[in-house]
Structure 1
Amino acid sequence: MTEFLGTDFLLENKYAVELYHEYAKNMPIIDYHNHLSPGDIAQDTIFSNLTQVWINGDHYKWRAMRTVGINEKYVTGNAGDQEKFQKWAFTVPYTLRNPLYHWTHMELQRYFDINSLLCPENADDIFGETQEKLQTKPFSCRNLLHKMNIEFLCTTEDPTDTLSDHRKITNEGLKMSVSTAFRPDKALAIETEGYLGYIEQLGAADNRSITSYDELCETLSNRIRFFHNNGCRISDHGLPHLYAEDFTHNEITTIFKKKYQGSPISEIETNKFKSALLQFLSKEYHSLGWVQQFHLGALRNNNTRKFGQLGPDTGWDSIGDWSQAASLSGFLNKLDSTDQLCKTIIYNLNPRDNEIMASMIGNFNDGSIKGKLQFGSGWWFLDQKDGMTKQINALSNIGLLSCFIGMLTDSRSFLSFPRHEYFRRILCNLFGKEIENGQLPNDMSWIGKIIQDISYNNAKSYFNL
């Protein structure tokens, strides 16, 4: 019987073993999208215990805990950290075949050299052992990152952010490079009740008032350049789908004026506004040579009762089923028609859209840049073994996997980076099995190079690092 989580975990033959250990394992990590706290990196936070660094903020774990019947007091409530950890330890044995089971034990191994399977019986011992380690300098926030061989990571911030933490990080000259992505989703959300309040905050960040659509565009342009001057070269959008309505400038100025004056906005007006502002933003990104990312397909805040109690990003989101192809094609084509389409990564949350995304990027890979359009890695509900495999296979069958820029964490946890190892093992195993059955040649040096490109080299080139 094969050892659980042993040296050759997920590697099913000698070719997969060689590809992983000789080519993939030691490549540095480029994590180009996550939701880590730049404040913790700037301060080099010492976390009090495993709950603070591992459970708090992790809606993957929260959903699992609720599913087995854990009261919210022990999930996001006011229970003590050790009590919350005990409830997570109770949950873990029930997560068999969920990626949380693999991730939990990989993270205990990689960061703390703990090989035991987490359960209620050893919860207090593991809590105590990790607490003792976490309160020492080798386990500070930055050292947790260094331990995983991270070369570059990119957090995600709103246009109103001062980037003071990022400036502090840059000025201290860390071994790794830390940047941010520009995420202006709130500026697009004209249909929401709090929109004008946000527009006021956005104006204040630029020392102005925003009373018109043109002033909104000017402010966003200024904030983009502020981010650019502070090292940002990536944008990110989380949307149900892209928008590609036809519009006139007069229409958009009128729509913004209506909203500003408190008048209702129709669905078609909302879609036109988002189409216009997205095109404006994307042309700004292009002018500065940025990479733009679009995370598409999340159906958010489904449980209105719990959302009202706990707010967003607390575990009430799921996979949506919007039609993606036509709007995505229209949006990309409008930018390409004026040669203002920058490097673009598109991610889908619904696995039914894998082949749509894999085929769409081929329409706009124009030979100007290797892999200019990217089908992003399995995201959120899809960043598990089956989801990653299906994304890799769709891209292999329809596009060129060899040009893929690989994995990211999309995480709020500083202990999430073994997900890169997880991805690399899955990738190597897919290649290894096809070498063994004669579907690929036994050319380990060339296939090893492709593995290293997907794991690291392609991203390093794509983001000009």
Structure 2
Amino acid sequence: MSNIFIHENFLLTNKTAQILYHEHASKMPIIDYHCHLPVNEIAENIKFKNITHVWLYGDHYKWRAMRTNGVNEKFITGNASDKEKFFKWAETVPYTIKNPLYHWTHMELKKPFGISDKLLNPETAEEIWNRCNELLQQDDFSTQGLIKQWNVEVICTTDDPVDSLEYHKKIKEKPFGTKVIPAFRPDKAMAVENIDEFHKYLKKVEEASNISINNFNDFITAIRKRHDYFHENDCRLSDHGIETAYAEDYTENEIKLIFEKILAKKELTQIEILKFKSAMMYEFGIMDHEKGWVQQLHIGALRNNNSRMFKTLGPDTGWDSIGDFEIARPLAKFLDRLDSQNKLTKTIIYNLNPADNELIATMIGNFQDGSVPGKLQYGSAWWFLDQKSGIEKQIDALSNMSLLSRFIGMLTDSRSFLSYSRHDYFRRILCNILGEEIEKGLIPNDIKLVGKIVEDISYNNARNYFDFWN
């Protein structure tokens, strides 16, 4: 057997899985319907200075591993040189055995860099540093070049309602073969826990919408205007990063009075905060339904736990974890509030706590209405769960409680242009699961039937689910 770690049948442990992957999954384009790629770097088609620039900047997965391995912050987010940071990562990689980072690291070295004959460690670091940096100067390794290498058909970025979308417009003016579409992420529009920060955000909403906000109706009018603007610029989906669903009972008058307190810079009680968030989630849901958008709910992250490092480095730097919030009752109530008025749009629900897998997989079945195959989706294994066992458990829960065959598949949820290997990772795991069950006699040995399901989950279902082509 070859000594190459990431070989053509990596993760494919049976012959049927290999057929499903090579003849069906591998050929399908990618629709990356949720990511955090910086759209300005796509529009400007930048070339990366070195492998650290493309690989370690902003990657809090790697940062957490390096900290755990005893690496000083200077070599992670500090002022050490890019080469020093890369070498510290190379020192850490051997210690990531059985962590998905070991798989991802070597998958990303194989594609796009073609390095499959070396494992990254302190002894190989210099050679890999030089080989990667030489390739990064070629046109095929610019931001757009990397996207093309991976056959990415659609990218959906994550954008605040006040964003000008200027870079999306530039891409549309000068297309390169991949649609780059904004996604409406209005988390800050309901973040009233910090009144001072919310007031700063209100000013931005006023400037972006050219509407003076003097009451709650003005605020909704301004947000709706931005929602319209996003739709005019090809946005067809929203996204919400929330601890749990918000569905407190409230009256219109209560929300108006709460907003008056906000404008007066008076601190809100906890129940007032929850009622305001509940009102905003309802309003967002109504807007999305009116335009036929898909709404995405990312549920379950407990963020910014390390207050000292949050003050030093800010959010999204590696201090978040899985939360254990109440999910079922508020989520059911939120979905029912919209569905009872026939205003529930297509919805994807991602959970971060594996204890909630079956909860979400059963919840989506409560609100399927026969209008669209898989109208409600149990989203792909997310963040701390997008590794082999997490993906397998999500697929098992979805299979047992719903229709895996209608699943819209994987996304990157990443800030890295090298993360498209995660689609390949997912497809290999999917094929291995189905191939194994065929060989055990649990699924018919019908490659045409199962191969079509593989192609659908890899690409076709997402293509049909999202309105990106109208």
Q: After TM superposition, is the score higher than 0.5?
A: yes
Are 2:201 and 1:198 equivalent residues in the alignment? yes
In the alignment, which residue of structure 2 is the partner of 1:299? 302
Following the alignment from structure 1 to structure 2, what is the Cα–Cα distance between the partners of residues 202 and 386?
42
Q: Please give the per-residue CA displacement for 1:6-40, whole angstroms capped at 9, x wherever unaligned.
A: 11111111100000000001100000000001000
Q: Please give the per-residue CA displacement for 1:364-401, whole angstroms capped at 9, x wherever unaligned.
A: 11001111000000000000000000000000000000
Following the alignment from structure 2 to structure 1, what is the Cα–Cα distance between the partners of residues 205 and 355?
37
Q: Please give the per-residue CA displacement for 1:133-165, whole angstroms capped at 9, x wherever unaligned.
A: 111212111000100010111000001100000
Following the alignment from structure 1 to structure 2, what is the Cα–Cα distance between the partners of residues 90 and 285?
47
Shift of 1:180: 1.1
Shift of 1:211: 2.3
Which blocks of at least 5 consecutive residues in structure 1 are unaligned? none
Are 2:86 and 1:85 equivalent residues in the alignment? yes
1:17 partner amino acid: Q
In the alignment, which residue of structure 1 is the partner of 2:293? 290
Are 2:142 and 1:124 equivalent residues in the alignment? no
Following the alignment from structure 2 to structure 1, what is the Cα–Cα distance between the partners of residues 9 and 142?
29
In the alignment, which residue of structure 2 is the partner of 1:56? 57
Are 2:364 and 1:345 equivalent residues in the alignment? no
Following the alignment from structure 1 to structure 2, what is the Cα–Cα distance between the partners of residues 50 and 158?
29
In the alignment, which residue of structure 2 is the partner of 1:108? 109
Q: How does 1:290-439 map onto structure 2 within 5 Å?
A: 290-439=293-442
Which blocks of at least 5 consecutive residues in structure 2 are unaligned? none
In the alignment, which residue of structure 1 is the partner of 2:282? 279
1:168 partner amino acid: K
Q: Please give the per-residue CA displacement for 1:71-114, whole angstroms capped at 9, x wherever unaligned.
A: 10110011110010000000100000000000000000011101
Following the alignment from structure 2 to structure 1, what is the Cα–Cα distance between the partners of residues 145 and 172?
16
Shift of 1:2: 7.3
Following the alignment from structure 1 to structure 2, what is the Cα–Cα distance between the partners of residues 75 and 332?
41
CA contact (8 A) 2:211 2:218 kept: no
1:218 partner amino acid: T
1:34 partner amino acid: C
The 3-state SS of whatever aligns with 1:121 is: coil
Q: How does 1:146-225 map onto structure 2 within 5 Å?
A: 146-193=148-195, 194-225=197-228
In the alignment, which residue of structure 1 is the partner of 2:462? 459
Shift of 1:208: 2.6
Q: Please give the per-residue CA displacement for 1:236-266, whole angstroms capped at 9, x wherever unaligned.
A: 0000001111111100010011111021201
In the alignment, which residue of structure 2 is the partner of 1:36? 37
TM-score (norm 1): 0.99
Q: Please give the per-residue CA displacement for 1:274-315, whole angstroms capped at 9, x wherever unaligned.
A: 111110111001000100000000000000000000000000
Following the alignment from structure 2 to structure 1, what is the Cα–Cα distance between the partners of residues 457 and 261?
48
1:73 partner amino acid: K
Following the alignment from structure 1 to structure 2, what is the Cα–Cα distance between the partners of residues 131 and 12?
34
Q: 1:137 aligns with which of 111, 136, 139?
A: 139
Aligned length: 465
> Alignment identity in percent?
57
TM-score (norm 2): 0.98
1:261 partner amino acid: A
Following the alignment from structure 1 to structure 2, what is the Cα–Cα distance between the partners of residues 423 and 210?
45
Shift of 1:209: 2.5
Following the alignment from structure 1 to structure 2, what is the Cα–Cα distance between the partners of residues 138 and 342?
39
Following the alignment from structure 2 to structure 1, what is the Cα–Cα distance between the partners of residues 266 and 166?
37
RMSD of aligned residue pairs (Cα, Å): 0.9
1:172 partner amino acid: K
The 3-state SS of whatever aligns with 2:305 is: coil
Following the alignment from structure 1 to structure 2, what is the Cα–Cα distance between the partners of residues 386 and 213?
45
Q: 1:250 aligns with which of 253, 256, 276?
A: 253
Following the alignment from structure 1 to structure 2, what is the Cα–Cα distance between the partners of residues 464 and 260?
37
Q: Please give the per-residue CA displacement for 1:307-343, whole angstroms capped at 9, x wherever unaligned.
A: 0000000000000000100000000000000000000
1:402 partner amino acid: S
Which contiguous aligned blocks of 4+ residues in structure 1 show a shift greater than 4 angstroms? none
